[in-house]
């Protein structure tokens, strides 16, 4: 009898122990399955004379990081890193991705290939010869090794790092332009280059590099599979570059089709405020900072706005001395336009985003266009000016449509006005709304 009791007790203890182990395993599996981790680096402020400073990478990093947070990624956002800083960031990334559902690495800045190995260049690099690159740069293999060790369900690497530079032209290697095609990569890894191996990518004349601009446009589309994102981004890059630049994708097609960027985080008031500030922080118009302070009197950037306003009011010449905008016919023509306004939450209520496609015309630098019938609900007109250097100021006016698409849930046919600021090249342009909600207009010349 005693043996039977002991056997039953042992069996119950064993079953309880097995159940506990099973539950713990499920908990760990759930943690890994739901986590998506990204490391985003933008290096632009290079110190060595032979490595040109790049305007766009820090903006690229900010914009990609914001987009990935909207897709539910835990993002490590880094800008203008030294060699030590890059090594630390990659090590931190490696420590976070263990067992995660997805690990994504994005880099914008200078990249150099030496003997078919790719190196990402820190801002404090001093490269005197080909032999110094492995010591002054960070090998892409270092990132891939961390991903391999992390055993994530999906590994994605995006490199807007093929910028041209005068240093690599002095190397003895015959193929030193751009980056080299990838060799062995961890299983389940997709690597995306801004352009073909051995070629160089444009830094871009607007806020973003051509490749990153294409990605950001694709992130706002309907097909959020990795394959869909890369297809749209590639088309954007090819059109903006006049077919001179084509992104290169290496990795399993099955992963590209199965992986989806899920919209899980709606931009809150903090993200809207950051978008507003980012769009005006380099402005020389005091009205922009007055508008920010009116909207966010105790905002995160209020002190910066007040200081900037003091400087502008002190240095600003009298209105009569302000030169008139310099017009140009370089941008004249018929432009296909896509306006994308993101979902936002207003006092806990979801305001739906929307996408509008229409055309605008530019003549002598004056931009005009409309969507819908003026004077009727859900109508929009754009009126702006593109200066000779491509800088653009645009005013949008119209009447609201369905309440669920309007901040404040205002009734149809309510008048609205907002302002956009952007930049144009001869073939493309972008403008960002500077008030209330994140909106971006993309222009392509027909």
Fold for 333-445, please state it.
Lipocalin (2.40.128)
- Report whether 42 contacts 203 (CB < 8 A): no
- Report whether 235 contacts 82 (CB < 8 A): no
pLDDT tens, N- to C-terminus, the chain (446 residues):
433 433 444 444 444 444 443 343 333 333 344 789 999 999 999 998 878 888 899 999 999 999 999 888 999 999 999 999 999 999 999 999 998 999 999 999 988 888 778 899 999 998 888 888 889 999 999 999 999 999 999 999 999 986 555 565 555 444 455 576 666 677 889 999 887 665 666 555 678 888 999 999 999 888 999 999 999 999 998 888 888 888 889 899 999 999 999 875 545 556 667 767 766 776 777 877 888 888 888 888 888 888 888 888 776 555 544 455 566 788 999 999 989 888 887 767 888 888 888 999 999 999 999 998 878 889 999 999 999 888 899 999 888 888 888 877 778 888 888 889 988 988 888 998 876 678 889 998 88
Q: Which long-range contacts (CB under 8 A, 24 or more apart) does 275-283 make?
A: 275/66, 275/432, 275/438, 276/434, 276/435, 276/436, 277/301, 277/305, 278/62, 278/432, 279/421, 279/432, 279/433, 279/434, 280/421, 280/434, 283/421
The domain locations on the chain are 27-258, 269-321, 333-445
Report the alpha-carbon angle 389-394-396, nearest 5: 170
Report the alpha-carbon angle 301-304-309, nearest 5: 120
**pTM, 2 dp:** 0.56
> Are domains 27-258 and 333-445 of this chain identical in fold?
no
- 27-258 sits in which CATH class? alpha beta
């Amino acid at each position: 009898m005693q043996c039977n009791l002991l056997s039953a007790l042992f069996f119950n203890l064993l079953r309880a122990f097995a159940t506990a182990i099973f539950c713990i395993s499920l908990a760990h599996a759930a943690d890994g399955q739901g986590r998506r981790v990204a490391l985003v680096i933008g290096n632009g402020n290079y110190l060595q004379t032979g490595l040109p400073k790049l305007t766009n990478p820090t903006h690229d990093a900010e914009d990609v990081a914001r987009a990935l947070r909207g897709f539910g990624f835990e993002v490590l956002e880094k800008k203008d890193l030294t060699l030590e800083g890059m090594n630390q960031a990659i090590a931190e990334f490696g420590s976070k991705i263990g067992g995660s559902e997805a690990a994504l690495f994005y880099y914008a800045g200078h990249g150099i290939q030496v003997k078919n190995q790719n190196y990402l260049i820190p801002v404090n690099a001093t490269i005197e010869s080909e032999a110094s690159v492995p010591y002054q740069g960070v090998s892409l293999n270092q990132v891939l090794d961390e991903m391999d060790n992390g055993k994530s369900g999906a590994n994605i690497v995006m490199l807007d790092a093929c910028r041209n530079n005068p240093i690599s032209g002095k190397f003895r290697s015959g193929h030193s332009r751009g980056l080299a095609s990838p060799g062995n990569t961890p299983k389940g890894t997709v690597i995306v280059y801004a352009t073909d191996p051995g070629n160089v990518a444009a830094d871009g004349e607007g806020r973003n590099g051509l490749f990153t601009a294409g990605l950001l446009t694709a992130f706002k589309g309907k097909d959020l599979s990795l394959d869909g994102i890369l297809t749209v981004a590639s088309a954007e890059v090819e059109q903006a570059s006049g077919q001179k630049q084509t992104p290169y994708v290496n990795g399993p097609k099955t992963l590209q089709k199965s992986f989806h960027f899920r919209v899980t985080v709606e931009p809150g008031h903090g993200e809207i405020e950051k978008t507003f500030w980012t769009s005006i922080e380099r402005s020389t118009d005091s009205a922009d900072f007055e508008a920010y302070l009116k909207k966010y009197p105790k905002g995160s950037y209020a002190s910066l706005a007040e200081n900037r306003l003091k400087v502008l009011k002190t240095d600003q010449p009298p209105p009569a001395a302000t030169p008139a905008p310099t017009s140009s016919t370089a941008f004249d023509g018929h432009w296909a336009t896509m306006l994308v306004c993101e979902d936002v939450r207003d006092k806990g209520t979801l305001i739906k985003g929307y996408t509008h496609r229409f055309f605008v015309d530019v003549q002598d630098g004056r931009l005009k266009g409309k969507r819908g019938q003026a004077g009727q609900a859900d109508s929009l007109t754009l009126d702006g000016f593109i200066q000779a250097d491509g800088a653009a100021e645009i005013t949008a006016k119209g009447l609201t449509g369905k309440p669920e698409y309007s901040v404040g849930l205002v009734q149809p046919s309510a008048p609205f006005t907002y302002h956009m600021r952007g930049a144009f090249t001869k073939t493309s342009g972008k403008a960002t709304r500077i008030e209330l909600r994140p909106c971006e207009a993309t222009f392509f010349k027909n």
